Amino acid sequence: MDGVARGDDGVLRCWWGDATAQYRYYHDREWGVPVDDDVLLFEMLSLEGFQSGLSWLTILRKRDAFRRSFANFAFDQVARFGQGDVEWLLANAGIMRHRGKIEAVVNNARRAVELVREEGSLASYVWRYEPAPRRRRLDRTALRLLARPAEADALARDLKRRGWRFVGPTTVYAFMQAVGLENDHLDGCEAGLASERARASFRRPPGT
């Protein structure tokens, strides 16, 4: 299949997932696996916002630093960050020192607290936007031409309506791929088959 590579460990992966050790671990263990943990959902949406304009590999390499800096993305704690915390983060060389993105995470943590109060959980809210299955023969060329699902646009619009920042449709779609709302592993990828099995057995959160 176009875009599937066999690693030196004999495993077939999407081409990008075999580029580095960090990508290999993330591709095999996380990308496309369904998530219902609110803190991890918030982390992934925050990291996707930081990734805008950068490579995902840059984010993965700094992920531990991001976690230390943002209270492991426990959004109830991040929601209490003040201007002093923002200034400290701007001086932290371990992360991306982008004021807009840092302030967006703090703002979004506050919005996440509100959303959980209104909807019960981030998971219940996010999984309402799960796209309908669109199984098709998916190689690298087809993936490049694949239209973004309407649900990604709808989720981005609603998050913006609720006051979230750095949650454009492209960022939200990448988030949906990462947390298993969509399985965009290429056909022939072994992790893709595992993700599909995980999605089949995944119990959707209440209210979805």
* Catalytic entry in 43, 48, 130, 182: 48
Q: If pLDDT is split at 50, 70 and 90, which confidence band does 207 have?
A: confident
Q: What is the pLDDT of residue 137?
A: 80
Q: Is 26 among the catalytic positions?
A: yes
Provide the pLDDT for residue 147: 86
Which of the following is catalytic: 26, 129, 164, 173? 26
**pLDDT of 142 strictly over 70:** yes
Per-residue pLDDT at 144: 87
The pTM (predicted TM-score) of the whole model is: 0.96
Residue 130's alpha-carbon distances to 20, 38, 82, 96, 158, in angstroms, are 30, 16, 34, 30, 14
Distance CA 126, CA 129 (A): 6
56, 127, 129, 173: the catalytic one is 56
Residue 13 half-sphere exposure toward CB, CA atoms < 13 A: 22
| Annotated catalytic residue 31 | no
Backbone phi and psi for residue 53, each to the nearest 5 degrees, phi listed first: 85, 0
User: For the segment 162-171, what is each residue's pLDDT rounded down to a tens digit?
Assistant: 999 999 999 9
Per-residue pLDDT, 135: 65
Q: Is 35 helix (H, G, I), strand (E, B) or coil?
A: coil
3-state SS, residue 16: helix
Looking at CATH, the fold of the domain delimited by 36-122+148-179 is given as: Endonuclease III; domain 1 (1.10.340)
Q: Where in the chain is the domain with CATH 1.10.340.30?
A: 36-122+148-179
